[in-house]
């Protein structure tokens, strides 16, 4: 028989994610997955991912368009993931290192993906370039040992009513992201990126549907949201 603690966790490649963590409000684990590549039929696993969201009516109301959709349908619908990114609730992405790499490698990968997404929608200006440089510099000196943790925290606005108003008015105007890095033997490092376009595209890197960095995480989101939207 497993303990109560074990029942309240999810394990991904030996890495434990609690089903709930503390944020501004309790945040629920709604998806998990991996980033990996396959080389000559060998799967190389880089990171385990946990996606935490504040689950309330503000989260589900803008997603009612997909009420009754099956998980397979959600998994292929990029508009659903765009709506999920835009919903003004607190979100936290917990990325735990499986295969060690240099932080600069991770930073360049993130910077390249976010920049390309911004260029594609004509939102890459000087402010976005400066914000991305800040993110790249943050990771430059880090070393991603196994079990190191990168956290992307997207706070919600002060009140649900104002948050929902902002959602309908400007989609991403409320967004910012707090990034932290923790590894054994080092103090936790943190930065905050206030640029809303960069923050939104970092969300899309993990929640971007068919273009996201982790297809297993996207599928996990579909599997979790299908029953949530069924009632």
- 103 within 8 A of 140, measured Cβ to Cβ: yes
Q: Could you give the CA distance from residue 53 to residue 40 in angstroms, rounded to a whole number?
A: 36
Q: Could you give the CA distance from residue 95 to residue 93 in angstroms, rounded to a whole number?
A: 6
**Bridge-partner residues for 30, per DSSP?**
none
Domain boundaries, the chain: 4-57+88-206
Two tokens, residue 113 = 């993906």
DSSP string, the chain: ---HHHHTEEEETTEEEESEEESSSEEEEEEEEEEEEEETTEEEEEEEEEEEE--SHHHHGGGGGGTT--HHHHHT-HHHHHHHHHS-S-EEEEEEESS-EEHHHHHHHHHHHHHHHHHHTT---HHHHHHHHHHHHHHHT-EE-TT-EEEEEEPPPSSHHHHHHHHHHHSSTT--EEEEEE-TTS--EEEEE--HHHHHHHHHHHH-GGGSS-HHHHHHHHHHHHHHT--
Two tokens, residue 195 = 């640029």
- Phi then psi dihedrals of residue 227, to 5 deg: -70, -35
Please name the fold of domain 4-57+88-206. Chalcone isomerase (3.50.70)
Amino acid 58: pLDDT: 78
Q: What is the dihedral of CA 206, 210, 211, 214, to 10 degrees?
A: 40
Two tokens, residue 151 = 């956290």
Residue the block writes with tokens 């260029």: 119
Q: Which residues of the chain register pLDDT less than 70?
A: 1-7, 157-174, 231
Q: Could you give the CA distance from residue 1 to residue 161 in angstroms, rounded to a whole number?
A: 44
């Amino acid at each position: 028989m497993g303990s109560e603690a074990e029942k309240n966790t999810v394990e991904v490649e030996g890495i434990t994610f609690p089903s709930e963590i503390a944020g501004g409000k309790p945040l629920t684990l709604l998806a998990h997955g991996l980033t990996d590549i396959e080389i000559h039929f060998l799967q190389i696993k880089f990171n385990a991912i946990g996606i935490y969201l504040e689950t309330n009516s503000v989260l589900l109301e803008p997603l009612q368009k997909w009420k009754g959709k099956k998980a397979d349908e959600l998994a292929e619908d990029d508009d659903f993931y765009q709506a999920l990114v835009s919903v003004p609730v607190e979100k936290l992405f917990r990325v735990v290192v499986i295969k060690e790499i240099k932080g600069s490698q991770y930073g360049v990968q993130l910077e390249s993906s976010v920049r390309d997404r911004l260029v594609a929608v004509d939102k890459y200006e000087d402010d976005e370039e400066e914000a991305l440089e800040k993110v790249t510099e943050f990771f430059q000196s880090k070393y991603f040992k196994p079990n190191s943790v990168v956290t992307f925290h997207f706070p919600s606005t002060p009140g649900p009513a104002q948050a929902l108003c902002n959602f309908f008015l400007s989609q991403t105007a409320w967004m910012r992201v707090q990034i932290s890095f923790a590894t054994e033997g080092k103090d936790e490092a943190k930065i905050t990126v206030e640029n809303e376009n960069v923050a939104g595209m970092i969300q899309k890197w993990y929640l971007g549907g068919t273009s996201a960095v982790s297809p297993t995480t996207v599928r996990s989101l579909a599997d979790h949201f299908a029953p949530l939207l069924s009632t």
